């Protein structure tokens, strides 16, 4: 790896950059053993969410989907039966993503799953990332150092006056997170 590329990945993502806002629904919380069940991503240019330039896909589950997972995101085995094969989808998705930075809520979680599955296919996945939760936390810490901010997704949405769309649905969460990204870029909250 060349040094300039390494340092480029460390550069903060700017609100004026074109980004891809990403969300996954998974069979559990462990990237070592659980699976990606659905993925959605929307491209954002400045303050414009390009809904025509989006990805939303469900995947076949390779193992039994746990009851706790079904309660959380409401994806049942029959909903995933005719889903895509992640191994066939991932190279195409990474091509669509290109070099755009990836934004999300608790984005390290999503990146861990995608990095694992990309590596298994011999593909590299090391995008620049930005986390709306971390941006919000830092902003609140600067403004109100004496208060511990509520970092739950719904609380950040409320503070930014963003109405959550389709909670625990990958596309709904990706679009809501895109709205949060734009609100944070405009200095709100």
d(CA 182, CA 16): 10
First to last CA, the chain: 38
Degrees, nearest 5: CA angle 185-113-152 = 45
Taking alpha carbons only, the member of 150, 177, 183 closest to residue 165 is: 177
- Domain 7-185 = CATH 3.30.420.40: no
Per-residue pLDDT of the chain (189 residues; tens, 9 = 90+): 454 555 566 678 888 899 999 999 999 889 999 999 999 999 999 999 999 999 999 998 877 677 676 666 667 676 777 889 999 999 999 999 999 999 999 999 999 999 999 999 999 999 999 999 999 999 999 999 999 999 999 999 999 999 999 888 999 999 999 999 999 998 787
What are the structural domain ranges in the chain? 7-185
Instruction: Could you list the beta-strand ranges (E) of 6-156.
Output: 18-26, 36-45, 48-58, 102-104, 129-131
Q: Are 153 and 164 in contact (CB under 8 A)?
A: yes
What's the whole-model pTM score? 0.89
Amino acid 5: pLDDT: 57
Amino acid 127: pLDDT: 96
Q: What is the pLDDT of residues 96-133, one digit of tens each?
A: 999 999 999 999 999 999 999 999 999 999 999 999 99
């Amino acid at each position: 790896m060349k040094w300039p590329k390494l340092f480029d990945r460390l550069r903060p993502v700017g609100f004026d950059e074109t980004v891809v806002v990403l969300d996954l629904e998974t069979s559990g919380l462990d990237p070592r053993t659980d699976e990606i069940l659905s993925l959605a991503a929307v491209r954002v240019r400045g303050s414009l969410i390009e809904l025509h330039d989006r990805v939303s896909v469900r995947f076949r589950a390779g193992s039994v989907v746990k009851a706790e997972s079904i309660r959380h995101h409401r994806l049942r085995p029959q909903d995933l039966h005719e889903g895509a094969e992640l191994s066939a989808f991932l190279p195409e998705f990474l091509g669509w993503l290109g070099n755009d930075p990836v934004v999300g809520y608790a984005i390290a979680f999503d990146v861990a799953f995608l990095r694992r599955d990309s590596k298994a296919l011999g593909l590299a996945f090391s995008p620049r990332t930005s986390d709306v939760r971390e941006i919000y936390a830092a902003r609140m810490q600067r403004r109100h150092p004496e208060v511990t901010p509520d970092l739950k997704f719904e609380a950040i949405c409320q503070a930014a006056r963003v109405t959550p769309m389709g909670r625990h649905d990958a596309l709904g969460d990706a679009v809501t997170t895109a709205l949060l990204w734009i609100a944070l870029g405009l200095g709100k909250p």
